[in-house]
């Protein structure tokens, strides 16, 4: 199969406190898109890896350096990678660093505001959380990658959906690849990334599959409406970016070669 290379990245769903923050997110998403595109000729795996690693290094995003702090004020991160249905997690080659190097002044300030419950712009307005990328390459393979500092003020040791196959990410050459962001507990219960791709496999249109997978998150106690998002690429090259959070920053390179970087607002 010879497909046009496609790459979709997101910098998180949630809501932000200022236009300055939005500009920084968009700049980071655009740079990640460029990094992923530059690696795309090595295949979809290299593309999603390069894009996500770029966003991990970008300090405003909740992944890698700049991650949200857990209740104990430390950083602990989750990540996942999937390409081909039987090849799941890639951890080899991850560069080591001092945990303190991942903590930024911004993350510290948000952590302090949230701990104090001060009515600042960041309190009650979740950060744009998690970064992710999905890609389709010229060989017809798809890949998904995701990385996050997890929920702000999470309990130490808590693991969210992002490293869980089927919840935070799913990639299946027969249908497509999906990466989610939102409240991990609900995304894990619903298996949202896999659910979305399975809906496409069952004949539902890509846009409807994304909307339905997000809508199903609200059917349970602990309603998370307003806090989730996903990106999807199908093997046919359709791209969907959907969210029910107030905002989501994302970018994509589509089959026709068009390049878009956009701050999306709730539908």
**Residues of the shown chain interacting with ligand ASP in the complex, contacts defined by CB under 6 A:** 78, 129-130, 148, 150-151, 160-162, 181-184, 187
Least Å distance, CB 203 to ligand ASP, is 28
Least Å distance, CB 3 to ligand ASP, is 28
Least Å distance, CB 227 to ligand ASP, is 7
Of 43, 33, 44, give the one whose Cα is nearest residue 8: 33
- When the beta carbons of 78 and 242 are compared against ligand ASP, the nearer one is 78
Least Å distance, CB 154 to ligand ASP, is 7
Least Å distance, CB 126 to ligand ASP, is 7
* Rounded-to-integer distance, Cα 83 and Cα 89, Å: 9
* Rounded-to-integer distance, Cα 132 and Cα 230, Å: 9
Least Å distance, CB 29 to ligand ASP, is 15
Q: In this structure, how many other beta carbons lie within 10 angstroms of the beta carbon of residue 232?
A: 29
Burial of 45 (0-12, 13-18, 19+ CB in 10 A): buried
* Rounded-to-integer distance, Cα 247 and Cα 144, Å: 22
* Rounded-to-integer distance, Cα 57 and Cα 66, Å: 8
- When the beta carbons of 63 and 206 are compared against ligand ASP, the nearer one is 63
Bridge partners (DSSP) of residue 7 are: 135, 253
> What DSSP string runs through 41-59?
GG-HHHHHHHHHHHHHHST
* Rounded-to-integer distance, Cα 236 and Cα 259, Å: 18
Q: Give the residue numbers marked as catalytic.
A: 130
* Rounded-to-integer distance, Cα 135 and Cα 216, Å: 25
- When the beta carbons of 37 and 162 are compared against ligand ASP, the nearer one is 162
- When the beta carbons of 5 and 66 are compared against ligand ASP, the nearer one is 66
* Helix, coil or strand: residue 104: coil
Which residue shows structure tokens 């795996």?
A: 45
- When the beta carbons of 10 and 45 are compared against ligand ASP, the nearer one is 10
Residues 57 and 18 sit within 8 Å (Cβ to Cβ): no
Of 152, 171, 169, 162, give the one whose Cα is nearest residue 69: 152
- When the beta carbons of 39 and 61 are compared against ligand ASP, the nearer one is 61
């Amino acid at each position: 199969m010879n497909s046009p290379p496609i790459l979709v990245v997101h910098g998180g769903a949630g809501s932000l406190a200022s236009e300055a923050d939005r500009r920084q997110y968009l700049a980071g998403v655009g740079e990640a898109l460029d990094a992923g595109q530059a690696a795309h000729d090595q295949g979809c795996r290299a593309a999603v890896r390069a894009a996500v690693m770029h966003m991990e290094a970008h300090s405003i995003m909740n992944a890698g350096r700049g991650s949200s702090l857990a209740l104990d004020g430390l950083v602990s991160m989750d990540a996942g990678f999937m390409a081909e249905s039987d090849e799941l997690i890639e951890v080899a080659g991850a560069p080591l660093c001092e945990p303190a190097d991942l903590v930024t002044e911004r993350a510290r300030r948000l952590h302090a505001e949230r701990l104090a419950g001060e009515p600042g712009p960041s309190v009650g307005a979740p950060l744009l959380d998690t970064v992710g990328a999905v890609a389709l390459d010229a060989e017809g393979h798809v890949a998904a990658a995701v990385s996050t500092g997890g929920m702000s003020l999470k309990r130490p040791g808590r693991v969210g959906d992002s490293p869980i196959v089927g919840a935070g990410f799913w990639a299946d050459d027969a249908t497509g690849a999906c990466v989610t962001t939102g409240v991990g507990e609900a995304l894990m219960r619903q298996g949202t990334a896999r659910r979305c791709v399975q809906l496409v496999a069952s004949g539902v249109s890509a846009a409807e599959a994304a909307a339905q997978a997000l809508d199903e998150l609200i059917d349970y106690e602990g309603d998370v409406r307003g806090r989730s998002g996903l990106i999807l690429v199908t093997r046919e090259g359709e791209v969907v970016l959907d969210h029910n959070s107030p905002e989501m920053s994302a970018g994509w390179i589509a089959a026709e070669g068009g390049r878009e970087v956009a701050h999306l607002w709730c539908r």
